[in-house]
Copies of this chain bind each other. A is one copy, B any other.
Amino acid sequence: MYRTNTCGELRLSDVGRDVTLAGWVQRTRKMGGMTFVDVRDRYGITQVVFDQDAPELCDAANHLGREFVVQVKGRVAERASKNPKNPTGDIEIIAKELNVLNSSEVPPFTIEDKTDGGDDLRMKYRYLDLRRPAVRKNLELRHRMAFEIRRYLDSKGFLEVETPVLIKSTPEGARDFVVPSRMNPGQFYALPQSPQTFKQLLMVSGFDRYFQIVKCFRDEDLRADRQPEFTQIDCEMSFVTQEDVLQMFEGLVKHIFKYVKDIDFTEPFPRMTWADAMKYYGSDKPDTRFGMRFVELKDLTEGSGFSVMDEAPYVGAIVAPGCASYTRKDLDKLTDFVKRPQVGAKGMMWVKYEQDGSIKSSVGKFFSDDVLRTWLERGEAKPGDLMLILAGQTMKTRKQLNELRLEMGSRLGLRNPDEFSCLWVVDFPLFEWDEETQRYYAMHHPFTAPNPEDIDMLDTDTGNVRATAYDMVVNGNELGGGSIRIHDSKLQDKMFRLLGLSEEDAQYKFGFLMNAFKYGAPPHGGLAFGFDRFVSILAGLDSIRDTIAFPKNNSGRDMMIDAPSVIDDSQLEELQIKVDLKED
Contacts and interface: CB of A to CB of B under 8 A. Distances in A.
Contacts of A516: 127
A564 B184 contact: yes
Nearest to A207: B42
B102 A488 contact: yes
Contact of A564 (B6, B126, B181, B556): B181
Nearest to A519: B104
A204 interface: yes
Contacts of A548: 162
**Range class of the A interface residue count:** 35 or more
The complex is assembled from copies of this chain, and their number is 2
A217 interface: yes
A266 interface: no
Contacts of A231: 162
Interface of A: 1-3, 6, 22-24, 40-43, 67-69, 101-105, 107, 125-128, 130-131, 136, 139-140, 142-143, 146-147, 150, 154, 159-169, 171, 173-174, 176-191, 197-198, 201-202, 204-208, 215, 217, 219, 221-222, 228-229, 231, 239-241, 243-244, 487-488, 512, 516, 518-523, 548-550, 552, 555-558, 561-568, 571, 574-582
Given A105-B519, A166-B564, 10 more contacts: A22-B239, A67-B520, A127-B516, A143-B160, A168-B562, A177-B189, A178-B567, A179-B179, A183-B222, A186-B566
A131 B205 contact: yes
Closest 4 CB pairs of A and B: A104-B520, A168-B563, A130-B205, A2-B239
Given A2-B240, A105-B518, A178-B179, A229 B166 contact: yes
B128 A147 contact: no
Given A186-B581, A556-B183, A561 B512 contact: yes
A581 B185 contact: yes
A578 B575 contact: no
Contacts of A107: 519
A68 B330 CA distance: 67
B518 A174 contact: no
Contacts of A219: 181-183
